[in-house]
Amino acid sequence: EVQLVETGGGLIQPGGSLRLSCAASGFTVSSNYMSWVRQAPGKGLEWVSVIYSGGSTYYADSVRGRFTISRDNSKNTLYLQMNSLRAEDTAVYYCARDRDGYNLMDVWGKGTTVTVSS
């Protein structure tokens, strides 16, 4: 079964760091484009970052320089390292498989919640 499972969310103080993980099963992370999308409480979806199968990475302006997307091929897992966290980063973070790298996100995890608060 094709599946994504996010972990690593929690309560963190402003300025802190957190690393989210997204374990994949049923397909190979390194052979696909993989994205992170977040949703603030009561708000819409916001694309955060993508890593191409070739390794290129892209970020939304709101997180560029603070967040880093990466993957561990041996663990078939995607990561999102989040530094210098702000209150506005509070959201449910979803990982998703993008089949063609052009906004065809066909497999989504259930999400992990990040709360940035003092």
Partner 1 sequence: QSALTQPPSASGSPGQSVTISCTGTSSDVGGYIYVSWYQQHPGKAPKLMIYEVSKRPSGVPDRFSGSKSGNTASLTVSGLQAEDEADYYCSSYAGSNNFVVFGGGTKLTVL
Closest contact distance (angstroms) between CB of 65 and partner 1 is: 15
Give the distance between the most distant pair of CA atoms in the chain. 40
User: Nearest distance from residue 108's CB to partner 1, in Å?
Assistant: 4
Q: How far is the CB of 79 from partner 1 (least distance, A)?
A: 18
E strand or H helix at 46? strand 45-51
Q: Which is nearer to partner 1, 59 or 81 (CB)?
A: 59
d(CA 72, CA 89): 24
Q: Which is nearer to partner 1, 14 or 40 (CB)?
A: 40
The residue ranges that bind partner 1 (CB under 8 A) are 35, 37, 44-47, 50, 58, 60-61, 94, 96, 102-106, 108-111
In this structure, the strands spanning 10-12 and 112-116 are parallel
Q: How distant, in Å, are the alpha carbons of 17, 26, 39, 44, 72 from that of 32?
A: 27, 12, 23, 25, 13
CB closer to partner 1, 41 vs 118: 41
Q: What's the min distance (Å) between Cβ of 71 and partner 1?
A: 17
Nearer to partner 1, 37 or 85 (CB): 37
Locate 55 and state its tokens. 């390794």
Q: What is the DSSP letter of 31?
A: G
